[in-house]
Amino acid sequence: MKQKLVLIGNGMAGVRTLEELLKLAPDSYEITVFGAEPHPNYNRIMLSPVLAGEKTIDDIILNSREWYAEKGIRLISGDPVVEINRARRHVRTRDGVVAGYDRLLIATGSNPFIIPVPGHDKAGVIGFRDIADVETMLHAAKDYKRAVVIGGGLLGLEAANGLMKQGMQVHVVHLLDSLMERQLDKAASALLKSSLETRGMQFLMEAQTAEILGDDRVTGVRFADGSEVAADLVVMAVGIRPNMALAQQAGLHCERGIVVNDTMQTFDPRVYAVGECVQHRGSCYGLVAPLFEQAKVAANHLVEMGIARYEGSVTSTKLKVTGIDLFSAGEFNEGEGDETLVLQDPSQGVYKKLVIRDNKVKGAVLYGDTMDGTWYFTLLREGTDISAFRSTILFGQHDLGDAGHGDASASVMALPASAEICGCNGVCKGDIVDAISKKGLFTLEEVRAHTKASSSCGSCTGLVEAILAGTVGEGYDKAPSKKGMCGCTEHSHDEVIAAIRKGKLKTMQAVRDALDWKTPDGCASCRPALNYYLLANWPAEYEDDAQSRFINERAHGNIQKDGTYSVVPRMFGGLCTANDLRAIADVSDKYKVPEMKVTGGQRIDLFGVKKEDLPAMWKDLTDAGFVSGHAYGKAMRTVKTCAGKTWCRFGTQNSTGLGVKLEELTWGSWMPHKFKLAVSGCPRNCAEATIKDFGVVCVDSGYELHVGGNGGIKVRVTDLLCKVETEEEVLEYCGAFTQLYREEAHYLERTAPWVERVGLNHIKQQVLEDEANRKALYERFLFGQKFAQIDPWKARAEGSEAHEFTPLKIA
Amino acid sequence: MNNWIDIIALDEIPRLGSRVIRTDTMDVAVFRTRDDQVFALRDACPHKGGPLSQGIVHGTSVTCPLHNWKIDLASGEALGPDEGCTNVFATKVEGGRVLLALKADVAAA
């Protein structure tokens, strides 16, 4: 018989937990849901736009009644649970419905705090919490004129804005001297206040409410100083209190909220709790991103996987008042020893402040221009060292060299529905917005799966995130505290790499067993990653698994859209002879190659080769002295060189010769992603060494070494690592840097984002300052190369993996 | 009635891999899972015709090498939010040999 799960609270956190649970194990429970409100689950954070008339209630329904029916969930709405009996393991509702449980999930959310002043129970005094409150406000706006909102926080201002849009005159009453003091510093708060004032909102600051006036219905508010203001409607938005009455009555340990541990379990092991009603490590959360993280963890434990932990959340806030852009995250008021970076442009209404500690972002407040909010938030969460781009950080991410999608200052939400967002897959803004609202999507992953937007090269990820945030509001699940490698595991790339090293795990099965993989043989994203990590860590022992390689690396050619392959022989340093070219020409004739092209990496690409012709073609090429160019792999690709000192009148050093040496050193090595080098003979830099993963610029006195450049999706100029004097040093530093990247970067992370993630200082420490470490890295690189520099083409031309290339024929 | 054709020894298909069977009219991809189940699909992804035989096999599905669509080996249907289906052919393993039935299911499909 199936176990019984009862959920009390039909809101976002609880239902999200059910969705996560159904994803993991659809048949694990017989589920009953109790909701106090008469509606199915809706997006509570979108109540403000409903009040402002920008959305309807139907727009914000997340799970229709059909959803519950389809999933076999019993929904009892409009009948609140009034008792939990833990001894008998059942719950009872007001109308007398009794349901037994094996596991109980409490997600009762929170209640608006109503200030207990005289008259607080008069008609026309409400909180701002649910659909009923919104309906009351909408009705009031039809019959009455004057509204008072008590509370100048996020919720209060959204309520005031909505009421104003409905035609009411609104006074906002705030106890303190600045608005939204929990999210904004004083400067941003003042900007916000004056902007709202120009829209007609009136403020009564530092006003303490003493009494609500009127007979049955409210007629006004009196303050502690004796002054009064007239009102037909009073909305109290002074905060929320976790709704823990039921839990307390049932004897569960509660403090400010229902106390839970890192697995979202209460003091009764059969009872879990998520959402605004809980207190975790001393914190209660009122924003939605943390609730979704909690939901994930609770679901994981309810289906008895038992591996996820909730470790608390860093949150960020956006005000949902159309036309006002505001963002805040982290510790936005500087403490002792903190530094602040401020950009202020009063006439444009722009204010940006970052709080910095030890070269890391600790907090951010943005007003007027919030385009980079997500970026700052990412830097904050990941603890990125910003010293390399500190001087320009306030100008935003695009200033780092994003090729960009048009005018960054134009807000994404202002774009028309027909604007193309994802250039790879041809997805327009309208498609994304439709998918989000019709299919109820909340995460970037879901949007990618349904629309394909940002699922190819990923350069439009920021835009898609902005659309997601704009469409679903705070519901957008942008801040998982940590991200699993793929759907098969909760463990992050770093955790997997550490486990492989620490546990001396040397097979894929050992990794999957040690880290509780959810699938028996992984998936198309984790298998290639694990194969690489094992190969990079145990070059001598690990046996490469062909079936875990993407087809390009298995067939040693690039698959093209018609299923044929392209072949690129290696030309060391881009040098070639007449005989080399003749051999390539002969091969091209013999196998009827339909198209040839000179590549950007200074070699020749032969397109349109049938897979079964590959081994024979490789044999002809290896006979002529070529080896594979690895143009298909997450591997060392090419070393680009310029004309060089032999011919160029500006050349210094033997740059072309050095290029050949570097290519001889590094060819054949597998990498987290593709890896390109270049050597320029003088600072004119004709080989474009400063947009390569490792670039050398020769100068009269030696060699400048540059790292972390990228000419692809997002152009990034290299950082200067150091200057050295001899070729031997170039080779050693190159090998050491490459090995550090091979050991530390995540699979499919190029050097540019890796350098930005770990910081240039870290790389300098490892490669420059610690000489012994540099030599050790270089040694490990050379050791790995012993096993990697075996030409895959020659091996296959001699018959290795023949089954891969031979089709079977039947008539 | 299925018309069984003996095509290959099971051991000649790599585990979590595939072989391509070329017929007069099309290519058929024959997959072998980790636990030695064998499936056969028309070697064309319902999305843009990518060669499924070249994809990574995991569980009882294969990921197309061109745009990462995930196709269920048993039904030929795209998994997840994607929609589409490719032809399925019956297979069986007898005495270490893989048998494929082409005609019956072509008619059905």
Q: What tens-digit pLDDT sequence spans chain B (109 residues)? A: 678 999 999 999 999 999 999 988 899 999 999 999 999 999 999 998 999 999 999 999 999 998 889 999 999 999 878 889 999 999 999 999 999 998 644 444 4
Q: What is the pLDDT of residue A695?
A: 96
Given a cut of 80, whether residue A599 has pLDDT beyond it is yes
In this predicted model, what pLDDT tens digit does every residue of A263-273 receive, in sequence order?
Answer: 999 999 999 99
Given a cut of 80, whether residue A676 has pLDDT beyond it is yes
Q: What's A544's DSSP letter?
A: P
Query: Residue A47 belongs to what H/E stretch?
Result: helix A47-51
- Residue with the larger pLDDT of the pair A421 and A647: A647
Cβ-Cβ contacts under 8 Å, A555 against chain B: 54
Distance CA A452, CA A91 (A): 44
Cβ-Cβ contacts under 8 Å, B24 against chain A: 811
Tell me the two tokens of residue B104. Answer: 């019956």
Mean pLDDT of A560-584: 93
Contact assessment for residue B79 and residue B52, using Cβ atoms and an 8 Å cutoff = no
Mean pLDDT lowest among A125-134, A358-367, A391-400:
A391-400
Confidence of residue A807 (pLDDT cuts 50, 70, 90): confident
- The distance of A533 to chain B (nearest Cα, Å) reads 18
- Mark yes or no for CB contact A808/B8 under 8 Å: yes
Tell me, yes or no, if B25 comes closer than 8 A to chain A by beta carbon: no
Number of Cβ pairs closer than 8 Å across A and B? 83
- Mark yes or no for CB contact B58/A808 under 8 Å: no
Partner residue facing B21 (CB), from A527, A528, A808: A808
- Mark yes or no for CB contact A524/B56 under 8 Å: yes
Confidence of residue A400 (pLDDT cuts 50, 70, 90): low
Confidence of residue A326 (pLDDT cuts 50, 70, 90): confident
Partner residue facing A551 (CB), from B7, B15, B54: B54
For each of the domains in chain A, give its residue range(s) and CATH number, in order of start.
Answer: 3-109+242-302 (3.50.50.60), 125-238 (3.50.50.60), 325-400 (3.30.390.30), 412-475 (1.10.10.1100), 493-549 (no CATH), 552-628 (3.90.480.10), 649-788 (3.30.413.10)
- Mark yes or no for CB contact B81/A450 under 8 Å: yes
- Mark yes or no for CB contact B65/A519 under 8 Å: no
By C-alpha distance, the chain A residue nearest B18 is A804
In this predicted model, what pLDDT tens digit does every residue of B57-86 receive, in sequence order?
Answer: 999 999 999 888 999 999 999 987 888 999
Distance CA A666, CA A694 (A): 11
Q: What is the pLDDT of residue B1?
A: 61
Cβ-Cβ contacts under 8 Å, B4 against chain A: none
Q: What is the pLDDT of residue A475?
A: 54
- The distance of A560 to chain B (nearest Cα, Å) reads 8
Mean pLDDT of A583-602: 95
Confidence of residue A26 (pLDDT cuts 50, 70, 90): confident
Mean pLDDT of A314-329: 75
By C-alpha distance, the chain A residue nearest B43 is A563
Q: What is the pLDDT of residue A474?
A: 52
DSSP codes of every residue in A283-348: B---SHHHHHHHHHHHHHHHTT-----------EEE--BTTB-EEEEE--S--TT-EEEEEEEGGG
Mean pLDDT of A743-771: 92
- Residue with the larger pLDDT of the pair A608 and A458: A608
Mean pLDDT of A47-54: 86
Q: What is the pLDDT of residue A563?
A: 85
Sign of CA pseudo-dihedral A503, A505, A510, A513: positive
By C-alpha distance, the chain A residue nearest B66 is A561
Q: What's the mean per-residue pLDDT of chain B?
A: 89
Given a cut of 50, whether residue A402 has pLDDT beyond it is no
- Mark yes or no for CB contact A450/B50 under 8 Å: no
Query: Residue A496 belongs to what H/E stretch?
Result: helix A493-502
Mean pLDDT of A431-447: 84
Mean pLDDT of A121-145: 92
Confidence of residue A477 (pLDDT cuts 50, 70, 90): low
Distance CA A478, CA A726 (A): 48
The residue segments making up the domain with residue B86 are 4-108
Partner residue facing A524 (CB), from B23, B50, B68: B68
Contact assessment for residue A605 and residue A567, using Cβ atoms and an 8 Å cutoff = yes
Confidence of residue A187 (pLDDT cuts 50, 70, 90): confident
Q: What is the pLDDT of residue A297?
A: 92
Tell me, yes or no, if B81 comes closer than 8 A to chain A by beta carbon: yes
> What are the residues whose beta carbons fall under 8 Å from the beta carbon of A327, sequence distance 6 or more?
A316, A317, A318, A364, A365, A366, A367, A370, A373
Tell me, yes or no, if B98 comes closer than 8 A to chain A by beta carbon: no
Q: Residue A379: how many CB atoms within 10 A of its CB?
A: 22
Cβ-Cβ contacts under 8 Å, A546 against chain B: 14, 17
Mean pLDDT of A619-623: 94
By C-alpha distance, the chain A residue nearest B25 is A811
Distance CA A739, CA A767 (A): 10
**What number of CA atoms fall less than 13 Å from residue B60's CA on the CB side?**
12
By C-alpha distance, the chain B residue nearest A518 is B59
Contact assessment for residue A637 and residue A631, using Cβ atoms and an 8 Å cutoff = yes
In this predicted model, what pLDDT tens digit does every residue of A790-801 receive, in sequence order?
Answer: 999 998 988 888
Mean pLDDT lowest among A306-320, A570-584, B51-65:
A306-320
Cβ-Cβ contacts under 8 Å, A561 against chain B: 48, 50, 66
Partner residue facing B56 (CB), from A550, A807, A811: A550
- Mark yes or no for CB contact B14/A803 under 8 Å: yes
Confidence of residue A398 (pLDDT cuts 50, 70, 90): low
- Mark yes or no for CB contact B58/A522 under 8 Å: yes
Q: Say what the pTM is.
A: 0.66
Confidence of residue A725 (pLDDT cuts 50, 70, 90): very high
Cβ-Cβ contacts under 8 Å, B23 against chain A: 809-811
Mean pLDDT lowest among A88-102, A230-244, A413-427, A694-708:
A413-427
Distance CA A512, CA A526 (A): 10
Confidence of residue A320 (pLDDT cuts 50, 70, 90): low
Tell me, yes or no, if B48 comes closer than 8 A to chain A by beta carbon: yes
Q: What is the pLDDT of residue A332?
A: 80
Q: What's A486's DSSP letter?
A: B
- Residue with the larger pLDDT of the pair A313 and A662: A662
Tell me the two tokens of residue A386. Answer: 């910003």
**What number of CA atoms fall less than 13 Å from residue A687's CA on the CB side?**
34
- Mark yes or no for CB contact A546/B14 under 8 Å: yes
Tell me the two tokens of residue B91. Answer: 């297979």
Optimal mutation site among B35, B56, B61, B79, interface A, most CBs of chain A within 10 A = B56
- Residue with the larger pLDDT of the pair A597 and A337: A597
Report the CATH number that the domain containing residue B59 is assigned in CATH: 2.102.10.10
Tell me the two tokens of residue A680. Answer: 């320029």
Provide ipTM, 2 decimals: 0.88
Confidence of residue A313 (pLDDT cuts 50, 70, 90): confident
Distance CA A555, CA B59 (A): 22
Mean pLDDT of A661-673: 96
A87-to-A93, A246, A265, B75 alpha-carbon distances in Å:
17, 15, 17, 48
**What number of CA atoms fall less than 13 Å from residue A448's CA on the CB side?**
18
| Chain A interface residues (partner B, CB cutoff 8 A) | 449-450, 452, 455-456, 519-524, 527-528, 546-548, 550-552, 554-555, 559, 561, 563, 803, 807-811
- Mark yes or no for CB contact B59/A807 under 8 Å: no
Mean pLDDT of A159-172: 93
By C-alpha distance, the chain B residue nearest A804 is B19
Overall number of domains in chain B: 1
Secondary structure of residue A489 in the 3-state scheme? strand
- Mark yes or no for CB contact A803/B48 under 8 Å: no
Tell me the two tokens of residue A19. Answer: 């969705």
Long-range contacts (CB closer than 8 Å, 24 or more residues apart) made by A67-72: A67/A40, A68/A33, A68/A40, A71/A18, A71/A22, A71/A26, A71/A31, A72/A30, A72/A31
Mean pLDDT of A723-742: 96
Task: Scan for tokens 């399925």, then name that residue.
Answer: B88
Distance CA A375, CA A372 (A): 5
Confidence of residue A290 (pLDDT cuts 50, 70, 90): confident
* Percent of chain B surpassing pLDDT 70: 93
Cβ-Cβ contacts under 8 Å, A456 against chain B: 67
